[in-house]
Amino acid sequence: MYSFWEDSYVTSEFTTIKNIIPDLGIIMEKNLFYPTSGGQPSDSGQIKFDNQIASISEARKTKNEDILLVLESFPNNLQVGMQGLQEINWELRYRHMRMHTALHLLSVVIPLPVNGGQIGEMKSRLDFNMPDPIEDKQKIEDEINDLIQQDLNVEQLWIAEIELDKNPKLVKTMSVSPPRGSGDIRLIRIASSDNQVDLQPCGGTHVRRTSEIGRITLGKIEKKGKNNRRVSIHFSD
């Protein structure tokens, strides 16, 4: 399991170099950096090797599910097996965590199929299959902020595909159909002590409580095709 799934609040971690890709980057034995995936940008940060610092400009998934850390420049004498201290840009990570969780809530208050999305530091969006325009933007904004203020619990769950096959009703409770072929499926559940608000497969990073998101403002709603509308949100602070 990736470190950012085990605990997305961890900001630093020692590990060793697993592989070096000349003139591009390095792969660590245990990776702290979230890679660009699912509309969420990658983390940035640095790795400290003895008296040298390697700045990480981007993290990318490889074909075999390793994570390549793209370096701005290569420190001298890097070697496989060398230990380093990974340090992520926490401010950037935390904004992405807040935004990603807020988009889950947006999909709750607008219960329509989602065609895509993009997460940013200050502004994010979802594209909905929405033939008709939203009549009351303020109502949508009020509803998402009400969910945020309820201080709902956000947790990850893991379920095997075979368990989904045994319990097909579970799929109907999800706002997004889970992918198949990976064995285990990671789910993000948002709920109070007595009510489930959202359950969907997701590989991103999220806050533990919705109250951490802060107030959200609904931005533009743009028509992007016959049945597609793009709904943007941004932080009020």
Same domain (yes/no): 173, 78: no
Q: Which residues contact 142 (CB under 8 A, 6 or more apart)?
A: none
Q: How confident is the model at residue 73 (pLDDT cuts 50, 70, 90)?
A: confident
Residues 94-98: contacts with CB within 8 Å, 24+ apart? 94/207, 95/121, 95/122, 95/235, 96/34, 96/40, 96/41, 96/43, 96/121, 96/204, 96/205, 97/8, 97/205, 97/206, 97/207, 97/212, 98/207, 98/212, 98/213, 98/214, 98/235
Among 233, 236, 2, smallest CA distance to 118 is for 233
CATH number at residue 212: 3.30.980.10
Measured between alpha carbons, how far is 115 from 102 in angstroms, rounded to an integer?
A: 17
Instruction: Look at the pTM and tell me if it is higher than 0.85.
Output: yes
Residue type, 179: P
Last residue of a domain, one of 88, 105, 133: 88
CATH number at residue 69: 2.40.30.130
Residue 121 has pLDDT above 70, yes or no: yes
Same domain (yes/no): 127, 173: yes
State which residues form the domain around 56.
Answer: 3-88
Same domain (yes/no): 102, 62: no
User: In total, how many domains does the chain have?
Assistant: 2
Last residue of a domain, one of 73, 88, 103: 88
* Mean residue pLDDT across the chain: 90
Q: pLDDT tens across 6-33, in order?
A: 999 999 999 999 999 988 999 999 999 9
Last residue of a domain, one of 51, 70, 88: 88
How much is the average pLDDT of 55-66?
91
Same domain (yes/no): 28, 142: no
Q: pLDDT tens across 166-195, in order?
A: 776 666 556 666 666 567 888 899 999 899
Same domain (yes/no): 31, 45: yes
- pLDDT of 163: 80
Which structure tokens are listed for 191? 């709920």
Same domain (yes/no): 67, 120: no
Same domain (yes/no): 117, 68: no
